[in-house]
A and B are shown apart, each in its own frame.
Chain A
Amino acid sequence: MSGRYETTVGLEIHVELATRSKMFCGCRVAFAGAPNSRVCPVCLGFPGTLPVANEKAVEHTLRIGLALGCDIAEHCLFHRKNYFYPDMPKNYQISQYDSPLCLRGHLDIPSKTGSKSIGITRVHIEEDTGKSQHVGGDGRIASSEYSLEDFNRAGTPLVEIVTEPDIESGEEATTFVTELRALLEALGVSDVRMDEGSLRVDANISVRRAGEIEHGTKVEVKNMNSIRSVGRALAFEEERQRRALDEGSPLVQETRHFDEKSGATSSMRSKEHAFDYRYFPEPDLVPLEPSAHWVADIQKTLPELPPERRQRFVSEYGLTPIDVGVLTASSSTAAWFEDAARAYAGDPKKIVNWIIADLFGLLNVAGIELSACRIAPPQLAALVTMVDAGTISGTQAKVVLAEMFRSGSPPREIVRAKGMEQVSDKGAIEAFIDEAIAENPDVADKVRGGNPGPLGFLVGQVMRKMNGQANPKVVNEILHAKLLS
Protein backbone atom coordinates (compact mmCIF):
# COMPACT_ATOMS: atom_id res chain seq x y z
CA MET A 1 0.00 0.00 0.00
CA SER A 2 2.48 2.59 1.22
CA GLY A 3 4.62 2.18 -1.90
CA ARG A 4 1.87 3.82 -3.94
CA TYR A 5 2.08 7.08 -2.06
CA GLU A 6 4.72 9.54 -0.97
CA THR A 7 4.32 11.66 2.12
CA THR A 8 5.96 15.06 2.50
CA VAL A 9 6.25 16.71 5.90
CA GLY A 10 7.77 20.02 6.95
CA LEU A 11 7.85 21.13 10.58
CA GLU A 12 7.65 24.49 12.30
CA ILE A 13 8.95 24.27 15.82
CA HIS A 14 8.61 26.98 18.44
CA VAL A 15 11.04 26.88 21.33
CA GLU A 16 10.85 29.08 24.43
CA LEU A 17 14.37 30.16 25.27
CA ALA A 18 15.74 29.68 28.77
CA THR A 19 16.36 33.28 29.77
CA ARG A 20 15.70 34.98 33.08
CA SER A 21 13.84 37.92 31.56
CA LYS A 22 11.53 38.45 28.59
CA MET A 23 12.62 39.22 25.01
CA PHE A 24 12.11 42.98 25.08
CA CYS A 25 11.57 43.90 28.76
CA GLY A 26 12.81 42.92 32.22
CA CYS A 27 9.75 40.91 33.32
CA ARG A 28 10.65 37.51 34.75
CA VAL A 29 10.09 34.42 32.58
CA ALA A 30 8.46 31.54 34.49
CA PHE A 31 5.81 28.87 34.09
CA ALA A 32 2.39 29.31 35.76
CA GLY A 33 2.05 31.74 38.71
CA ALA A 34 -0.55 34.43 39.46
CA PRO A 35 -2.06 35.69 36.17
CA ASN A 36 -0.89 39.10 34.93
CA SER A 37 1.75 39.39 37.65
CA ARG A 38 4.76 39.31 35.31
CA VAL A 39 3.82 42.17 32.99
CA CYS A 40 5.01 45.75 32.58
CA PRO A 41 4.25 48.76 30.37
CA VAL A 42 6.51 47.36 27.60
CA CYS A 43 4.98 43.88 27.30
CA LEU A 44 1.49 45.29 27.86
CA GLY A 45 2.09 47.52 24.85
CA PHE A 46 1.51 50.85 26.55
CA PRO A 47 1.99 53.80 24.18
CA GLY A 48 5.38 55.45 24.39
CA THR A 49 7.28 52.44 25.77
CA LEU A 50 10.32 51.06 23.96
CA PRO A 51 11.42 47.44 23.59
CA VAL A 52 15.13 46.52 23.93
CA ALA A 53 16.27 43.07 22.76
CA ASN A 54 17.65 40.57 25.26
CA GLU A 55 21.29 39.75 24.44
CA LYS A 56 21.08 36.26 25.98
CA ALA A 57 18.14 35.37 23.71
CA VAL A 58 20.13 36.46 20.66
CA GLU A 59 23.08 34.40 21.89
CA HIS A 60 20.87 31.31 22.42
CA THR A 61 19.47 31.71 18.89
CA LEU A 62 23.00 31.93 17.50
CA ARG A 63 23.90 28.75 19.39
CA ILE A 64 20.93 26.95 17.83
CA GLY A 65 21.77 28.28 14.37
CA LEU A 66 25.43 27.25 14.63
CA ALA A 67 24.58 23.80 16.02
CA LEU A 68 22.26 23.30 13.03
CA GLY A 69 25.01 24.37 10.63
CA CYS A 70 23.16 27.52 9.53
CA ASP A 71 24.59 30.60 7.88
CA ILE A 72 24.43 33.47 10.34
CA ALA A 73 23.07 36.70 8.86
CA GLU A 74 25.47 39.63 8.97
CA HIS A 75 22.51 41.99 9.08
CA CYS A 76 18.97 41.24 10.15
CA LEU A 77 15.84 43.04 11.23
CA PHE A 78 12.90 42.66 13.55
CA HIS A 79 9.47 43.09 11.99
CA ARG A 80 6.00 43.72 13.32
CA LYS A 81 3.54 40.95 12.50
CA ASN A 82 0.15 42.65 12.81
CA TYR A 83 -2.90 40.69 13.78
CA PHE A 84 -6.11 41.34 15.62
CA TYR A 85 -6.29 38.75 18.32
CA PRO A 86 -6.25 39.71 21.98
CA ASP A 87 -3.41 37.38 23.07
CA MET A 88 -0.92 40.18 22.27
CA PRO A 89 -1.76 43.49 23.92
CA LYS A 90 0.15 45.42 21.24
CA ASN A 91 -1.95 43.95 18.39
CA TYR A 92 1.30 42.82 16.82
CA GLN A 93 4.01 40.33 17.57
CA ILE A 94 7.64 41.29 17.11
CA SER A 95 9.17 38.66 14.85
CA GLN A 96 11.66 38.34 12.03
CA TYR A 97 10.26 38.25 8.53
CA ASP A 98 12.41 38.30 5.40
CA SER A 99 15.77 38.60 7.16
CA PRO A 100 16.01 35.93 9.87
CA LEU A 101 19.11 35.57 12.04
CA CYS A 102 19.96 32.03 10.84
CA LEU A 103 19.44 30.50 7.38
CA ARG A 104 20.04 27.21 5.52
CA GLY A 105 21.16 24.55 7.98
CA HIS A 106 20.54 20.86 8.52
CA LEU A 107 20.07 18.27 11.24
CA ASP A 108 21.27 14.71 10.69
CA ILE A 109 18.91 12.16 12.22
CA PRO A 110 19.32 8.39 12.63
CA SER A 111 17.60 6.40 9.87
CA LYS A 112 17.35 2.82 8.62
CA THR A 113 20.24 3.46 6.28
CA GLY A 114 22.33 5.07 9.03
CA SER A 115 21.75 8.79 8.83
CA LYS A 116 19.52 11.24 6.98
CA SER A 117 19.99 14.97 6.62
CA ILE A 118 16.92 17.15 7.14
CA GLY A 119 17.27 20.67 5.80
CA ILE A 120 16.63 23.65 8.07
CA THR A 121 15.15 26.60 6.17
CA ARG A 122 15.54 29.22 8.88
CA VAL A 123 15.79 29.95 12.59
CA HIS A 124 14.43 33.26 13.76
CA ILE A 125 13.66 35.16 16.97
CA GLU A 126 10.21 36.26 18.02
CA GLU A 127 8.18 36.77 21.19
CA ASP A 128 5.56 34.46 22.66
CA THR A 129 1.91 35.47 23.06
CA GLY A 130 -0.22 35.53 26.21
CA LYS A 131 -2.57 32.69 27.11
CA SER A 132 -6.26 32.83 26.24
CA GLN A 133 -9.01 31.00 28.03
CA HIS A 134 -12.30 30.75 26.14
CA VAL A 135 -15.37 30.88 28.34
CA GLY A 136 -18.80 29.47 27.48
CA GLY A 137 -19.83 27.07 24.70
CA ASP A 138 -17.71 23.93 24.42
CA GLY A 139 -14.55 25.79 25.47
CA ARG A 140 -13.33 26.18 21.90
CA ILE A 141 -12.93 29.62 20.47
CA ALA A 142 -15.75 29.62 17.92
CA SER A 143 -18.51 28.77 20.37
CA SER A 144 -17.27 30.75 23.38
CA GLU A 145 -19.05 33.81 24.75
CA TYR A 146 -15.94 35.72 25.73
CA SER A 147 -12.28 35.14 26.52
CA LEU A 148 -9.89 35.81 29.41
CA GLU A 149 -6.29 36.88 28.84
CA ASP A 150 -3.22 36.26 30.99
CA PHE A 151 -0.21 38.13 29.60
CA ASN A 152 2.48 36.56 31.81
CA ARG A 153 3.79 34.60 28.81
CA ALA A 154 3.48 37.54 26.39
CA GLY A 155 6.98 38.60 25.37
CA THR A 156 8.78 35.40 26.38
CA PRO A 157 11.73 34.88 24.00
CA LEU A 158 10.78 32.38 21.35
CA VAL A 159 12.70 30.83 18.48
CA GLU A 160 11.00 29.43 15.42
CA ILE A 161 12.80 26.64 13.59
CA VAL A 162 11.45 25.79 10.13
CA THR A 163 12.48 22.64 8.27
CA GLU A 164 12.56 21.93 4.57
CA PRO A 165 9.87 19.45 3.43
CA ASP A 166 12.44 16.64 3.68
CA ILE A 167 10.57 14.47 6.17
CA GLU A 168 8.78 11.47 4.66
CA SER A 169 6.64 9.98 7.42
CA GLY A 170 5.16 10.58 10.84
CA GLU A 171 7.79 8.25 12.25
CA GLU A 172 10.59 10.29 10.71
CA ALA A 173 8.98 13.47 12.10
CA THR A 174 9.01 11.85 15.55
CA THR A 175 12.70 11.03 15.17
CA PHE A 176 13.44 14.57 14.03
CA VAL A 177 11.67 16.15 16.99
CA THR A 178 13.39 13.73 19.40
CA GLU A 179 16.78 14.62 17.90
CA LEU A 180 16.11 18.35 17.85
CA ARG A 181 14.94 18.21 21.45
CA ALA A 182 18.13 16.41 22.50
CA LEU A 183 20.19 18.99 20.60
CA LEU A 184 18.42 21.93 22.26
CA GLU A 185 18.82 20.27 25.65
CA ALA A 186 22.54 19.73 25.03
CA LEU A 187 22.88 23.39 24.03
CA GLY A 188 21.21 24.48 27.27
CA VAL A 189 19.03 27.00 25.44
CA SER A 190 15.60 25.74 26.54
CA ASP A 191 14.05 23.37 29.03
CA VAL A 192 12.27 21.73 26.04
CA ARG A 193 9.16 20.65 27.96
CA MET A 194 6.41 19.86 25.47
CA ASP A 195 3.92 19.37 28.31
CA GLU A 196 4.54 22.94 29.53
CA GLY A 197 4.61 24.34 26.00
CA SER A 198 8.28 25.31 25.93
CA LEU A 199 8.61 23.17 22.79
CA ARG A 200 5.70 23.31 20.33
CA VAL A 201 5.44 21.54 17.01
CA ASP A 202 3.25 22.36 14.01
CA ALA A 203 3.42 20.28 10.85
CA ASN A 204 2.66 20.72 7.18
CA ILE A 205 1.83 17.41 5.54
CA SER A 206 0.83 16.40 2.04
CA VAL A 207 0.46 13.06 0.27
CA ARG A 208 0.85 12.40 -3.46
CA ARG A 209 0.85 9.33 -5.68
CA ALA A 210 4.34 7.87 -6.09
CA GLY A 211 6.16 9.38 -9.06
CA GLU A 212 4.11 12.57 -9.23
CA ILE A 213 6.14 15.74 -9.41
CA GLU A 214 3.71 18.22 -7.88
CA HIS A 215 3.25 18.07 -4.10
CA GLY A 216 -0.20 17.10 -2.85
CA THR A 217 -2.54 19.51 -1.07
CA LYS A 218 -0.79 20.89 2.02
CA VAL A 219 -2.54 20.54 5.36
CA GLU A 220 -1.28 22.19 8.54
CA VAL A 221 -1.64 20.18 11.75
CA LYS A 222 -1.64 21.93 15.13
CA ASN A 223 -2.01 21.05 18.81
CA MET A 224 0.43 18.15 19.06
CA ASN A 225 1.49 18.28 22.71
CA SER A 226 4.00 15.46 22.94
CA ILE A 227 6.51 13.77 20.67
CA ARG A 228 4.21 10.77 20.62
CA SER A 229 1.26 12.84 19.44
CA VAL A 230 3.36 14.21 16.56
CA GLY A 231 3.68 10.63 15.30
CA ARG A 232 0.02 9.80 15.96
CA ALA A 233 -1.36 12.97 14.37
CA LEU A 234 0.76 12.63 11.24
CA ALA A 235 -0.01 8.90 10.88
CA PHE A 236 -3.73 9.74 11.09
CA GLU A 237 -3.40 12.57 8.59
CA GLU A 238 -1.32 10.45 6.18
CA GLU A 239 -4.00 7.76 6.21
CA ARG A 240 -6.84 10.28 5.82
CA GLN A 241 -5.18 11.91 2.82
CA ARG A 242 -4.36 8.54 1.18
CA ARG A 243 -7.95 7.45 1.55
CA ALA A 244 -9.17 10.72 0.03
CA LEU A 245 -6.83 10.18 -2.95
CA ASP A 246 -8.10 6.58 -3.29
CA GLU A 247 -11.70 7.70 -3.24
CA GLY A 248 -11.00 10.65 -5.51
CA SER A 249 -12.51 13.04 -2.98
CA PRO A 250 -10.99 16.51 -2.91
CA LEU A 251 -8.49 17.58 -0.21
CA VAL A 252 -8.63 21.17 1.00
CA GLN A 253 -5.69 23.28 2.02
CA GLU A 254 -6.56 23.97 5.66
CA THR A 255 -5.44 23.92 9.27
CA ARG A 256 -6.44 20.87 11.29
CA HIS A 257 -6.51 20.43 15.04
CA PHE A 258 -5.24 17.19 16.61
CA ASP A 259 -7.35 15.74 19.39
CA GLU A 260 -5.28 13.79 21.92
CA LYS A 261 -8.21 11.65 23.07
CA SER A 262 -9.61 10.48 19.76
CA GLY A 263 -6.25 10.47 17.97
CA ALA A 264 -7.95 12.23 15.04
CA THR A 265 -7.50 15.61 13.36
CA SER A 266 -10.42 17.90 12.61
CA SER A 267 -10.76 21.00 10.49
CA MET A 268 -10.32 24.38 12.19
CA ARG A 269 -12.36 27.20 10.76
CA SER A 270 -10.52 28.56 7.75
CA LYS A 271 -11.23 32.16 8.82
CA GLU A 272 -8.85 31.71 11.74
CA HIS A 273 -5.78 31.64 9.54
CA ALA A 274 -6.81 33.80 6.62
CA PHE A 275 -4.59 36.62 7.80
CA ASP A 276 -2.62 39.31 6.09
CA TYR A 277 -0.01 40.17 8.68
CA ARG A 278 1.13 43.42 7.04
CA TYR A 279 4.73 42.91 8.14
CA PHE A 280 6.88 46.01 8.36
CA PRO A 281 10.27 46.72 9.98
CA GLU A 282 9.93 47.36 13.72
CA PRO A 283 10.89 51.04 14.01
CA ASP A 284 11.62 50.74 17.75
CA LEU A 285 14.36 48.11 17.34
CA VAL A 286 17.58 48.80 15.43
CA PRO A 287 19.06 46.12 13.14
CA LEU A 288 20.96 43.18 14.56
CA GLU A 289 24.47 42.63 13.17
CA PRO A 290 26.25 39.88 15.13
CA SER A 291 30.00 40.39 14.77
CA ALA A 292 32.17 37.59 13.35
CA HIS A 293 34.03 37.67 16.66
CA TRP A 294 30.85 37.06 18.71
CA VAL A 295 29.75 34.23 16.40
CA ALA A 296 33.19 32.59 16.56
CA ASP A 297 33.17 32.79 20.37
CA ILE A 298 29.81 31.03 20.51
CA GLN A 299 30.96 28.41 18.00
CA LYS A 300 33.92 27.62 20.28
CA THR A 301 31.69 26.95 23.29
CA LEU A 302 29.27 24.55 21.56
CA PRO A 303 29.11 21.30 23.57
CA GLU A 304 29.38 17.82 22.07
CA LEU A 305 26.18 17.42 20.05
CA PRO A 306 24.03 14.29 19.85
CA PRO A 307 25.20 13.07 16.38
CA GLU A 308 28.87 13.25 17.50
CA ARG A 309 28.01 11.70 20.83
CA ARG A 310 26.24 8.78 19.13
CA GLN A 311 29.34 7.96 17.10
CA ARG A 312 31.55 8.17 20.16
CA PHE A 313 29.29 5.88 22.23
CA VAL A 314 29.57 3.21 19.52
CA SER A 315 33.35 3.48 19.22
CA GLU A 316 34.23 4.14 22.88
CA TYR A 317 31.82 1.79 24.66
CA GLY A 318 31.07 -0.73 21.90
CA LEU A 319 27.31 -0.23 22.25
CA THR A 320 24.68 -1.18 19.66
CA PRO A 321 23.00 1.60 17.64
CA ILE A 322 19.68 0.79 19.37
CA ASP A 323 21.16 1.20 22.87
CA VAL A 324 22.94 4.37 21.77
CA GLY A 325 19.68 5.73 20.39
CA VAL A 326 17.94 5.19 23.72
CA LEU A 327 20.78 6.65 25.78
CA THR A 328 21.36 9.74 23.63
CA ALA A 329 17.69 10.68 23.18
CA SER A 330 18.30 12.99 26.11
CA SER A 331 21.57 14.68 27.02
CA SER A 332 21.02 14.15 30.72
CA THR A 333 20.47 10.40 30.20
CA ALA A 334 23.66 10.21 28.12
CA ALA A 335 25.63 12.07 30.81
CA TRP A 336 24.17 9.87 33.55
CA PHE A 337 25.21 6.72 31.68
CA GLU A 338 28.74 8.05 31.15
CA ASP A 339 29.13 8.90 34.85
CA ALA A 340 28.06 5.36 35.75
CA ALA A 341 30.18 3.70 33.04
CA ARG A 342 33.30 5.64 34.12
CA ALA A 343 32.86 4.40 37.69
CA TYR A 344 32.58 0.80 36.51
CA ALA A 345 35.49 -1.47 35.62
CA GLY A 346 33.50 -4.10 33.70
CA ASP A 347 31.69 -4.15 30.34
CA PRO A 348 29.70 -0.89 29.94
CA LYS A 349 27.01 -2.93 28.19
CA LYS A 350 26.02 -4.24 31.65
CA ILE A 351 25.43 -0.68 32.88
CA VAL A 352 23.31 -0.02 29.80
CA ASN A 353 21.20 -3.11 30.50
CA TRP A 354 20.59 -2.07 34.10
CA ILE A 355 19.57 1.42 32.98
CA ILE A 356 17.28 0.35 30.16
CA ALA A 357 15.81 -2.84 31.63
CA ASP A 358 15.48 -1.87 35.29
CA LEU A 359 16.03 1.79 36.04
CA PHE A 360 13.75 3.03 33.21
CA GLY A 361 10.99 0.80 34.60
CA LEU A 362 11.29 2.42 38.03
CA LEU A 363 11.35 5.91 36.46
CA ASN A 364 8.25 5.11 34.43
CA VAL A 365 6.29 3.98 37.43
CA ALA A 366 7.37 7.05 39.42
CA GLY A 367 6.76 9.31 36.41
CA ILE A 368 10.08 11.14 36.73
CA GLU A 369 13.10 11.80 34.51
CA LEU A 370 16.48 10.18 35.08
CA SER A 371 17.89 13.59 36.01
CA ALA A 372 15.47 13.73 38.98
CA CYS A 373 16.38 10.21 40.16
CA ARG A 374 17.93 9.86 43.66
CA ILE A 375 20.47 7.27 42.57
CA ALA A 376 23.91 8.76 41.88
CA PRO A 377 25.45 7.17 38.74
CA PRO A 378 28.52 5.72 40.58
CA GLN A 379 26.09 3.88 42.92
CA LEU A 380 24.70 1.90 40.00
CA ALA A 381 28.30 1.00 39.12
CA ALA A 382 28.84 -0.12 42.74
CA LEU A 383 25.70 -2.28 42.61
CA VAL A 384 26.70 -4.03 39.37
CA THR A 385 30.21 -4.56 40.79
CA MET A 386 28.68 -6.33 43.81
CA VAL A 387 26.79 -8.67 41.48
CA ASP A 388 29.99 -9.35 39.51
CA ALA A 389 31.84 -10.18 42.74
CA GLY A 390 29.10 -12.56 43.82
CA THR A 391 28.32 -10.50 46.93
CA ILE A 392 24.65 -10.50 45.96
CA SER A 393 22.68 -12.31 43.27
CA GLY A 394 21.15 -10.61 40.24
CA THR A 395 17.68 -11.08 41.71
CA GLN A 396 18.73 -9.49 45.00
CA ALA A 397 20.31 -6.64 43.08
CA LYS A 398 16.93 -5.75 41.59
CA VAL A 399 15.50 -5.46 45.11
CA VAL A 400 18.47 -3.33 46.17
CA LEU A 401 18.05 -1.09 43.11
CA ALA A 402 14.40 -0.47 43.97
CA GLU A 403 15.47 0.49 47.50
CA MET A 404 18.25 2.76 46.18
CA PHE A 405 15.64 4.41 43.95
CA ARG A 406 13.32 4.95 46.91
CA SER A 407 15.79 6.09 49.55
CA GLY A 408 18.88 7.22 47.66
CA SER A 409 21.03 5.11 50.02
CA PRO A 410 24.22 3.51 48.65
CA PRO A 411 23.85 -0.18 47.68
CA ARG A 412 26.42 -1.41 50.24
CA GLU A 413 24.40 0.06 53.09
CA ILE A 414 21.16 -1.53 51.84
CA VAL A 415 22.78 -4.94 51.36
CA ARG A 416 24.17 -4.77 54.89
CA ALA A 417 20.90 -3.57 56.43
CA LYS A 418 18.93 -6.32 54.70
CA GLY A 419 21.53 -8.97 55.56
CA MET A 420 21.79 -9.89 51.90
CA GLU A 421 25.51 -10.47 51.63
CA GLN A 422 26.14 -13.82 50.03
CA VAL A 423 28.59 -16.14 51.67
CA SER A 424 31.11 -17.26 49.09
CA ASP A 425 33.70 -18.46 51.60
CA LYS A 426 34.30 -22.14 50.80
CA GLY A 427 35.22 -23.16 54.33
CA ALA A 428 32.01 -21.76 55.79
CA ILE A 429 29.86 -23.32 53.10
CA GLU A 430 31.62 -26.71 53.30
CA ALA A 431 30.66 -27.14 56.96
CA PHE A 432 26.96 -26.77 56.10
CA ILE A 433 27.35 -29.13 53.12
CA ASP A 434 28.86 -31.84 55.30
CA GLU A 435 25.96 -31.38 57.69
CA ALA A 436 23.42 -31.73 54.85
CA ILE A 437 25.10 -34.87 53.51
CA ALA A 438 25.20 -36.42 56.98
CA GLU A 439 21.52 -35.71 57.51
CA ASN A 440 20.50 -37.13 54.12
CA PRO A 441 22.70 -40.21 53.52
CA ASP A 442 20.19 -41.86 51.09
CA VAL A 443 20.07 -38.85 48.83
CA ALA A 444 23.86 -38.48 48.90
CA ASP A 445 24.24 -42.17 47.95
CA LYS A 446 21.90 -41.77 44.95
CA VAL A 447 24.05 -38.94 43.66
CA ARG A 448 27.25 -40.87 44.27
CA GLY A 449 25.68 -43.72 42.28
CA GLY A 450 25.72 -41.42 39.21
CA ASN A 451 22.29 -39.77 39.45
CA PRO A 452 22.78 -35.99 39.71
CA GLY A 453 19.01 -35.42 39.92
CA PRO A 454 18.70 -35.01 43.72
CA LEU A 455 21.67 -32.61 43.81
CA GLY A 456 19.20 -29.71 43.73
CA PHE A 457 17.59 -31.01 46.92
CA LEU A 458 20.91 -30.90 48.73
CA VAL A 459 21.62 -27.36 47.41
CA GLY A 460 18.21 -26.38 48.82
CA GLN A 461 19.06 -27.85 52.21
CA VAL A 462 22.33 -25.91 52.37
CA MET A 463 20.64 -22.68 51.31
CA ARG A 464 18.00 -23.15 54.02
CA LYS A 465 20.62 -23.72 56.68
CA MET A 466 22.39 -20.55 55.57
CA ASN A 467 19.20 -18.43 55.38
CA GLY A 468 19.60 -18.12 51.60
CA GLN A 469 22.87 -16.23 51.92
CA ALA A 470 25.16 -18.87 50.43
CA ASN A 471 26.42 -18.23 46.92
CA PRO A 472 24.53 -21.00 45.03
CA LYS A 473 27.28 -21.29 42.45
CA VAL A 474 29.85 -22.12 45.13
CA VAL A 475 27.46 -24.58 46.88
CA ASN A 476 26.96 -26.39 43.58
CA GLU A 477 30.69 -26.56 42.86
CA ILE A 478 31.54 -28.04 46.27
CA LEU A 479 28.70 -30.58 46.15
CA HIS A 480 29.85 -31.68 42.71
CA ALA A 481 33.42 -32.08 43.93
CA LYS A 482 32.37 -34.05 47.00
CA LEU A 483 29.84 -36.44 45.43
CA LEU A 484 30.47 -36.72 41.70
CA SER A 485 34.20 -36.74 41.15
Chain B
Amino acid sequence: MVIERSVVDHVARLARLDLSEEERARMGAELSQILAHADRIQALDLDGVEPTSHAVPVVNALRQDEVKPSLEQEESLAGAPAVEAERFRVPRIIEEP
Protein backbone atom coordinates (compact mmCIF):
# COMPACT_ATOMS: atom_id res chain seq x y z
CA MET B 1 0.00 0.00 0.00
CA VAL B 2 1.37 3.38 -1.02
CA ILE B 3 0.73 6.41 1.16
CA GLU B 4 -0.37 9.38 -0.92
CA ARG B 5 1.07 12.79 -0.34
CA SER B 6 -2.37 14.07 0.75
CA VAL B 7 -2.46 11.46 3.55
CA VAL B 8 0.98 12.56 4.79
CA ASP B 9 -0.21 16.16 4.86
CA HIS B 10 -3.35 15.19 6.75
CA VAL B 11 -1.54 13.09 9.37
CA ALA B 12 1.09 15.81 9.83
CA ARG B 13 -1.67 18.33 10.45
CA LEU B 14 -3.41 16.03 12.97
CA ALA B 15 -0.11 15.51 14.81
CA ARG B 16 0.63 19.24 14.65
CA LEU B 17 3.95 18.51 12.91
CA ASP B 18 5.54 21.15 10.76
CA LEU B 19 7.37 19.04 8.17
CA SER B 20 9.58 20.26 5.33
CA GLU B 21 8.99 19.17 1.72
CA GLU B 22 11.86 16.74 1.98
CA GLU B 23 10.54 15.25 5.23
CA ARG B 24 7.08 14.82 3.71
CA ALA B 25 8.50 12.84 0.82
CA ARG B 26 10.57 10.65 3.16
CA MET B 27 7.60 10.08 5.54
CA GLY B 28 5.44 8.98 2.62
CA ALA B 29 7.99 6.35 1.68
CA GLU B 30 8.63 5.17 5.26
CA LEU B 31 4.94 4.97 6.19
CA SER B 32 4.32 2.94 3.02
CA GLN B 33 7.01 0.47 4.07
CA ILE B 34 5.54 0.15 7.56
CA LEU B 35 2.08 -0.51 6.22
CA ALA B 36 3.47 -3.06 3.78
CA HIS B 37 5.03 -4.87 6.72
CA ALA B 38 1.73 -4.79 8.59
CA ASP B 39 0.03 -6.26 5.51
CA ARG B 40 2.47 -9.19 5.57
CA ILE B 41 1.67 -9.87 9.24
CA GLN B 42 -2.06 -9.61 8.53
CA ALA B 43 -1.72 -12.34 5.94
CA LEU B 44 -0.28 -14.89 8.42
CA ASP B 45 -2.45 -17.69 9.79
CA LEU B 46 -2.37 -17.01 13.55
CA ASP B 47 -5.19 -19.25 14.76
CA GLY B 48 -4.36 -20.65 18.18
CA VAL B 49 -1.45 -18.26 18.79
CA GLU B 50 -1.65 -16.34 22.10
CA PRO B 51 -1.66 -12.54 21.58
CA THR B 52 1.74 -11.02 22.39
CA SER B 53 1.55 -7.69 24.19
CA HIS B 54 5.29 -7.17 24.59
CA ALA B 55 8.27 -8.49 22.70
CA VAL B 56 10.74 -8.24 25.60
CA PRO B 57 10.80 -10.75 28.48
CA VAL B 58 10.71 -8.09 31.22
CA VAL B 59 8.09 -7.61 33.96
CA ASN B 60 7.62 -5.33 36.98
CA ALA B 61 9.58 -2.29 35.80
CA LEU B 62 8.69 -0.09 38.76
CA ARG B 63 10.05 3.14 40.20
CA GLN B 64 10.28 4.29 43.81
CA ASP B 65 7.67 6.82 44.90
CA GLU B 66 9.98 9.82 44.76
CA VAL B 67 9.18 13.37 43.72
CA LYS B 68 11.26 14.75 40.85
CA PRO B 69 11.25 18.39 39.76
CA SER B 70 8.38 19.34 37.44
CA LEU B 71 8.57 21.94 34.69
CA GLU B 72 8.20 25.59 35.61
CA GLN B 73 4.68 26.77 34.85
CA GLU B 74 6.06 29.02 32.12
CA GLU B 75 7.80 26.09 30.47
CA SER B 76 4.80 23.80 30.70
CA LEU B 77 2.58 26.38 29.00
CA ALA B 78 5.20 27.36 26.41
CA GLY B 79 3.94 24.89 23.81
CA ALA B 80 0.26 25.70 24.27
CA PRO B 81 -1.50 27.18 21.22
CA ALA B 82 -3.38 29.49 23.61
CA VAL B 83 -3.11 30.26 27.33
CA GLU B 84 -5.64 31.86 29.65
CA ALA B 85 -5.63 32.10 33.45
CA GLU B 86 -2.47 29.93 33.64
CA ARG B 87 -4.28 27.15 31.80
CA PHE B 88 -4.25 25.60 28.35
CA ARG B 89 -7.10 27.18 26.43
CA VAL B 90 -8.80 24.63 24.15
CA PRO B 91 -11.65 24.94 21.65
CA ARG B 92 -15.21 24.06 22.60
CA ILE B 93 -15.28 20.35 23.44
CA ILE B 94 -18.80 19.40 22.44
CA GLU B 95 -20.73 21.00 19.59
CA GLU B 96 -24.35 22.00 20.15
CA PRO B 97 -26.74 19.46 18.59
Contact = CB atoms under 8 A, between A and B. Distances in A.
Contact of A36 (B53, B56, B76, B94): B76
B90 interface: yes
B76 A39 contact: yes
A452 to B, nearest CB: 74
A25 B87 CA distance: 20
Interface string A44-62: 1000000011111110000
A285 B93 contact: no
A40 interface: yes
- Looking at chain A's contact residues, the main secondary structure is loop
A277 interface: no
Contact of A281 (B53, B71, B76, B92): B53
B94 A53 contact: no
Given A55-B64, A144-B92, 6 more contacts: A37-B70, A39-B76, A40-B76, A144-B93, A147-B90, A288-B59
Given A39-B76, A44-B76, A20 B67 contact: yes
B48 interface: no
Contacts of A25: 68
14 contacts: A26-B66, A27-B67, A28-B67, A35-B73, A35-B85, A57-B65, A75-B59, A86-B88, A148-B89, A149-B88, A269-B94, A269-B97, A271-B94, A286-B56
B7 to A, nearest CB: 20
B25 to A, nearest CB: 21
B85 A28 contact: no
Interface string A133-167: 11100000111111111110000000000000000
B92 A53 contact: no
B66 A21 contact: yes
Given A144-B92, A146-B90, A148-B84, A27 B68 contact: yes
A264 B67 CA distance: 42
Interface of B: 53-54, 56, 58-73, 76-77, 84-94, 96-97
A56 B76 contact: no
A146 B91 contact: yes
B71 A55 contact: no
Contacts of B56: 286
Nearest to B90: A86
Nearest to A143: B96
B87 A281 contact: no
Nearest to A55: B62
| B66, B68, B88 interface centre (most CB from chain A within 10 Å) | B88
Nearest to A145: B92
Contacts of B86: 34-36, 150
Interface string A1-42: 000000000000000000111000111100000111111110
Per CB-CB distance, the 5 closest pairs between chain A and chain B, nearest first, are A26-B68, A56-B65, A281-B53, A148-B87, A55-B62
Contact of A149 (B64, B66, B87): B87
Given A141-B93, A147-B93, A286 B59 contact: yes
Contacts of A346: none
Given A36-B77, A286-B58, A142 B96 contact: yes
Interface string A270-282: 0110000000010
Nearest to A58: B62
A34 B77 CA distance: 12
Nearest to A291: B60
A40 B68 contact: yes
B60 A288 contact: yes
B58 A40 contact: no
Nearest to B72: A37
Nearest to A52: B63
A409 to B, nearest CB: 39
A52 B67 CA distance: 13
Contacts of A394: none
Contacts of A44: 71, 76
Contacts of B53: 77, 281, 283, 287
Contacts of B77: 36
Nearest to A50: B61
A57 B72 CA distance: 25
A262 to B, nearest CB: 23
A125 B45 CA distance: 34
A289 interface: yes
Given A36-B77, A286-B56, A86 B93 contact: yes
B4 to A, nearest CB: 24
A457 interface: no
A142 B63 contact: no
